[in-house]
Amino acid sequence: MPVRSYGVTPDGATVDLYTLGDESGLRAHVITYGGAIVGIETPDRNGVRANVVLALPSLADYLAQDAYLGALVGRFANRIGGASFALDGVDYRLSRNENGNCLHGGRVGFNKAVWRVLDYADAPEPRLALRHFSPDGDQGFPGGITVDVTYSVSGGNTLRIAYHAESDRPTVVNFTNHAYFNLGGATTANILDHEVTIAAERFMPIDARLIPTGEMRAVANTPFDFRAPHAIGARIGEKDEQLAAALGYDHNYVLAGSARVEPQFAARVRAPGCGRVLEVRTTEPGLQFYTGNHLDGTLRGSNGEIYGKHAGFALETQHFPDSPNQPAFPSTVLRPGERFRSATEYCFGVD
């Protein structure tokens, strides 16, 4: 069934599950709680289908977890240092939920909202359009904003996520999806053998609170150089102050190219054992590469598998972390009368 009930939240809100695509190619499952991707099924080189994102057994599990599995993230993806920023001469204090920072929108971010369905269709292109309204002052952010996110499947192998937003006051915005991928299938223990390519010559070093220092450092001659394919596990254990600060990879990459009006190549990941390949394209200027460093085994998948450290990786397309406090970074300010737009495509294949 393309649509079915997924459960009810403690405050009585109904959560539904939508399926996009079919068994002949890519099939994605999305719930209205957090707009979360709870499944992406795709075949390997032998035609064997598997779910390639970390997923939980039930709505109760999604309500209880704080790892943002598969969720839409906002108002501001990634971190805002000190949970504060100034805009047009006004200081704003935000919800603090990680080391004194505002992470992924604060304690009650978009990942905890039940999104409203605007549109759903399975032909000619499977799509699901969701909307969420965040009022003025939500988690300390100024302005009431309306955010529309559309999931669509095209070509039998590509999941596209398109974001649109408007605000009634000057504010800052930054959106992403926080799916954790494991191309070997969610029952595979970890992703350390996955080979990663990232189209970036620079990455952003972080301080002890995981906030960018403002430097954009060349990846050359560092463990952060993925301009050519490298296995995730090949250098993740090296003695490096940046790897030590994040307990692995949890850094923003400055993507090559500018004026990314249409999605451009950002990254490619290959699982050598099964042959599945994921290519990411985006209009965003940044890509947060995260290797599940804080997964600690407390979450379990639908088949009882344990999600321990490095069980999955995330490729979060976004603007740069802490941009409201970093004048040299691309602006994340959204003003009345303007319309925020971005798009990211996850394209699956085999080799």
Which of 237, 259, 251 is closest to 309 using CA atoms?
237
Transcribe 199-226 into DSSP letters.
Answer: -EEEE--B-TTS-B-S--EE-TTSTT--
What distance in Å separates the CA atoms of residue 96 and residue 80, rounded to the nearest whole number?
9
Q: Establish whether 316 is a catalytic residue.
A: yes
| Active-site residue identified among 104, 132, 178, 194 | 178
Transcribe 16-48 into DSSP letters.
Answer: EEEEEE-TTS-EEEEESBTT-EEEEEEE-TTS-
Which of 3, 21, 325, 343 is closest to 156 using CA atoms?
21
| Active-site residue identified among 166, 284, 316, 345 | 316
What distance in Å separates the CA atoms of residue 96 and residue 99, rounded to the nearest whole number?
8
Beta bridge partners of 151: 128, 161
Neighbours of 123 (CB within 10 A): 6
Q: Establish whether 178 is a catalytic residue.
A: yes
Catalytic residues: 178, 316
